[in-house]
Amino acid sequence: MKKTVLIVDDEPRNLEILVNFIQELDFSVYMTNNATKAFEISEKRVPDVVITDWEMPQINGIELVKMLKASDITKEIPVIICTGVMMSSQNLKTALDAGAVDFIRKPIDFVELTARLKSALRLSESLKEIKQLNANKDRMFEIIAHDLSGPVGHVYSILSPDVINALDAKKYSEFLVSARSSISATYSLLQNLLSWARSQRNKIEFFPKKNDMNFVIEDTINLLQASCDDKKIKLTWDKIEPFSAFFDSNMILTVLRNLINNAIKFTKEGGEIKIITEVSSHFVTVKIEDNGIGITKENMQKIQNKIPFTCFGTNREKGSGLGLQLCRDFVAINKGQFLIESQENQGSCFSFTLPLNQI
């Protein structure tokens, strides 16, 4: 989609020249000769950048900038001020203080305008990205706080002395199993949270080398087999001859743990999960298939847009959505591709590739 630029100038000739030039740069252009109309267009269309003349009748460019910055809809649109008269340092400071991100003097040098326009667009994209990241982080922390409170509160309640003293041996054993399950879920969530926080700050350690792929898969299966047994889920692995691939073992262990754990979570009792490995000339593909409840179209859209969300498993198991983000990020760091296929009420297939040798 083309970027959009709104041009505001009360001089028809200036407006025409600017419009023609910016269209040649392959931008979509809105134009108007007064600030009132410019504000209306901005609230309705939300252009990526506004370029406005300073000296205009009734409402000038500075006042337009202030109007844009006062509106929640338009406050983040970068504005470039054009002027042929108000060029003193104090005047230019006035423009920047009002909220303009840049200025350009008339007569306009189009090399300079191109540079300043591209700079404003980069700023616009950065602001949008930061806003989305902050929204995702806020949502993530909200989900994590919610998901931690459940298992921690559960363990706290069942370890109450009054509750324990009232239990017989059988009930006490059942409570311990329940407590262990809650602690395990909490520990897994905290592990993911720590890894995610490190990856967001580029502090994650990355040590790729030749590793035995079968060993990593087998290690993960042994870790999660008890969870499968609890739900009477059949976990099968189409094991092939031993082979090595080039990856960071800790990262890929995290990927496999999250994907298999997710499959267990969203597969009903008595269901089936298959682990399949396929080796080509340059890559290995690992697939985790299940015949579970699948992913709704709405949640698939959230996954594709990297929007954090939480939903319950078939036994009301909780999840933060953090695991899939880690899987996607860790596979990318290891030079692989991460894919999701799912049909609601039929099951899902999560797969990723890894290079056999260093790329």
| Helices and strands, counts by H and E, the chain | 11, 12
CATH classification at residue 37: 3.40.50.2300
Asked if residue 121 belongs to a domain, the reply is no
135 and 214 both lie in a single domain: yes
Mean pLDDT to the nearest integer, 287-294: 95
- Residue 175, amino acid: F
Asked if residue 273 belongs to a domain, the reply is yes
104 and 225 both lie in a single domain: no
Asked if residue 113 belongs to a domain, the reply is no
Asked if residue 118 belongs to a domain, the reply is no
Give the pLDDT score at 29.
93
102 and 135 both lie in a single domain: no
Is 220 in a helix, a strand, or coil? helix
Q: Chain-centre distance of CA 310, in angstroms?
A: 14
Could you tell me the residue range of the domain that residue 55 belongs to? Answer: 4-108
CATH classification at residue 333: 3.30.565.10
Quick count: other Cβ atoms within 10 Å of Cβ 161? 7
Give the pLDDT score at 143.
59
Label residue 65 by pLDDT band (50, 70, 90): very high
259 and 316 both lie in a single domain: yes
- The total of structural domains in the chain comes to 2
User: pTM (2 decimals)?
Assistant: 0.56
218 and 103 both lie in a single domain: no
93 and 144 both lie in a single domain: no
344 and 252 both lie in a single domain: yes
181 and 96 both lie in a single domain: no
Rounded to whole angstroms, how far apart are CA atoms 280 and 353? 10
271 and 168 both lie in a single domain: yes
pLDDT digits (tens, 9 = 90+) for 314-349: 877 666 567 788 889 889 999 999 999 999 999 999
Rounded to whole angstroms, how far apart are CA atoms 116 and 109? 11
Report which of 261, 257, 264 is spatially closest to residue 314, judged by C-alpha positions. 264
Alpha carbon of 242 to those of 107, 245, 257: distances in Å? 71, 10, 20
Q: Chain-centre distance of CA 318, in angstroms?
A: 20
